[in-house]
Amino acid sequence: MTEDAYVTDEARGAAWEFWLGDSAERMAEIADESVHLSVYSPPFATPEGGALYTYSAMVRDMGNATSLDDFLGQFAYIIRENLRITIPGGIACVHVADVPYMKGRHGRSGLYDFSGEVIRAYEAEGWEFESRVAVDKDPQAQAIRTKAHHLMFVTKNRDSSKVSPAMPDYLLVFKKPGERPTPVKTDVTNEEWIEWARPIWYGIREGNTLNARIAREADDERHLTPLQLDFIERCVRLWSNPGERVFSAFGGVASELYVAVKWGREALGIELKASYWKVGCGNLRDLEVELAETKITDHLVDLL
């Protein structure tokens, strides 16, 4: 880990704000009950602490926690602050996955119940656990990407007692206690809801993400790809109204902010790492140009 100089900055557009800095500090600047929906993917903790994926070498990075208690203690502050800034009845959508034990490191195989750890952490800070949705994954793509022995044909053919299905991602849905001041009048169609109401979300395209490669640095050797845009879209359209504020405590390259603005919401995010923040700002500015051009085109069509 490094003691890199801590810097903060802010960028703004017509419907978004993206802050550079540590969420554990900067969330204190957000007004009480000013966020309607939160969507983010936190670092995935390993059983011994630290994170499954390396994002930076900064000591402020939760992924560099020295123990599981240290990780959960840092995360608890963000969970607690997220509750404070959320309106009564507001929703937090948290993307997680369970973490595999590794024979060489842990002396065993199987899974660490990180999703359950997150649920318990949210409940401990006053959130109500509403639902858990599994997100379907392609087992062949997962086997190729992770080299997971439990998915390999050779393992199945040699000793199938050692195989197990692919690991899904999860959407964990939490609600702040209280009655929402304004009901959500969604534009989700009945046909879409038939699909989205399933306990497993199918059709989330694993490659449908913003490009994070240009933000990578030398210490990102195990950086996870950004959250899928269609995953975020479902959350935004189901649990917020146009014009309401969507927040991300782990802004990355601004995927959650991007989708929120695209669907007519206001967006606020915080990101610790400057290279990700800069790329995220570029993504949001490019989106503003795209939306402005679409608006001009639609206006011209109306005039014809």
CA distance 211 to 225: 8
* Residue 61 near residue 272 (C-beta atoms within 8 A): yes
133: nearest Cα among 100, 174, 166: 174
State the average pLDDT over residues 174-189.
Answer: 98
Q: Which amino acid is at 214?
A: I
What pLDDT score does 266 carry?
A: 98
Average pLDDT over residues 114-132: 97
For the entire predicted model, the pTM comes to 0.89
pLDDT at 41: 94
- Chain-centroid distance of CA 46 in Å reads 17
Task: Note whether 175 and 127 are within 8 A (CB).
Answer: yes
**Residue 109 resides in a domain:** yes
Q: Is residue 1 part of a domain?
A: no
Kindly state whether residue 203 falls inside one of the protein's structural domains.
yes
Quote the pLDDT of residue 71.
85
Among 24-38, 61-75, 225-239, 274-288, where is mean pLDDT lowest? 61-75
The answer on pLDDT for 106 being more than 80 is no
Domain membership of residue 77 as a residue range: 9-303
In a domain, 3, yes or no: no
pLDDT given for residue 299 in this prediction: 47
- pLDDT tens figures, 184-240: 999 999 999 999 999 999 999 989 999 765 555 555 444 556 899 999 999 999 999
Report, as an integer, the average pLDDT of 130-134: 98
Amino acid letter at 36?
Answer: H
Identify whether 76 is part of a domain: yes
* Phi-psi group of 254: left, alpha or beta (phi > 0 → left; psi -120 to 50 → alpha; rest → beta): left
CATH number at residue 161: 3.40.50.150
Domain count, the chain: 1
The pLDDT score that the predictor gives to residue 46 is 74
Q: Which two tokens stand for residue 83?
A: 């509750």
Q: Mean per-residue pLDDT for 274-295? A: 94
Q: In the chain, count of helices (H) and strands (E)?
A: 10, 11
Between residues 265 and 43, the one the model is more confident about: 265
The predicted pLDDT at position 217 comes to 53
Say if residue 83's pLDDT is above 70.
Answer: yes
What's the pLDDT score for residue 56? 57
